[in-house]
Amino acid sequence: MVQIGYTMMTEQAGPRELVGHVVRAEEVGFDFSVTSDHYFPWLRAQGHSPYAWSVLGAAAQATSRIPLMTYVTCPTFRYHPAVVAQKAATVQLLSEGRFRLGLGSGENLNEHVVGGGWPSVDVRHEMLQEAVEIIRALFEGGHVNHRGTHFDVESARLWDVPDSPPPIGIAVSGERSCKLAGEHADLLIATEPKQGLLESFDRHGGSGKPRVGQLPVSYDPDRDAAIKRAHAQFRWFGSGWKVNSELPHPDSFEAATQFVTPDDVAESIPCGDDPDAFVAAVRPYAEAGFTEIALVQIGGETQPAFLDWSEKTLLPALREALGGS
């Protein structure tokens, strides 16, 4: 049973619009939702980046069924892990148990704003592991004192603790992050349908745990318009994690992707309104072993049309092909 999710892409819509979109996603039958947590958009053409946690609080009150999840929050630079624990516990209470805390080692694009520098990936993984340990300790409800390599916590306690703490997901891109996720996460997060990532996760303790993937799509009855929009807003997507995590500004992504063509984008992102093309793009995730796949419709202004089409055409096609709920 593969679940199909909807992405509130904070880089491409304002806060009120995002909440309206997830309300409609619940109505049309998406199984879950995820939310990006950015300070900058990837490219200027996307044009937005509201505070994800305010959006999540509003979404928790505006919806009643659809699960919510950060995809993903970096708990090590802009946010101290003790603050992330408080935010996550609060959203879990507001949503009445529908929240999952997706975590990752972050991107320079968002984390540079606090002026703390951008260390090597090994250091970022050390920081992430320590942050997860702090967050889990606070979820237990007692006072936490911590003197660590990267973080200190001074007699912290969460005063509003949910009966069931939010499950923690960790984003993976290679062996080191898969080991971290297998040992410390309740679920895996990835943006590429690589079976090797899931096998590594399993080897390190992740066997039987959910694994959540994500895929950009560009619905439009005019396929040329869909390709043009995908190129304008999502040509960064194929650059790979080693590039995407290091560049510090949307202008950096503009420069790094200046030679990516619309045809290049159309080869990797399904564009148009042929449901078979969308099913074909989602299928590798299911075949690799992902249990949940979140779709990102490109273009904030196109969400209503995409959601209507999903209800009538896309979700039935995906569930017929992949055995979803």
- The one-letter code for the residue type at 187 is L
Cβ count within 10 A of residue 154 = 10
Tokens of 9: 């892409």
Which is the catalytic residue, given 11, 17, 107, 130? 107
Residue 281 CA to residue 196 CA, distance in Å, equals 18
Which is the catalytic residue, given 11, 17, 26, 38? 38
Judge whether 254 counts as a catalytic residue. no
Nearest CA to 109 out of 254, 239, 253 is that of: 253
Judge whether 292 counts as a catalytic residue. no
The CA-to-CA distance between both ends of the chain, in Å, stands at: 6
What is the DSSP annotation of 126-162? HHHHHHHHHHHHHHTTS-EEEE-SS-EEEEE--SS--
Residue 76 CA to residue 126 CA, distance in Å, equals 10
Tokens of 236: 């960064």
**What are 297's strand-pairing partners?**
217
- φ, ψ of residue 79 to 5 degrees: the values are -120, 135
Supply the residues annotated as catalytic: 38, 107
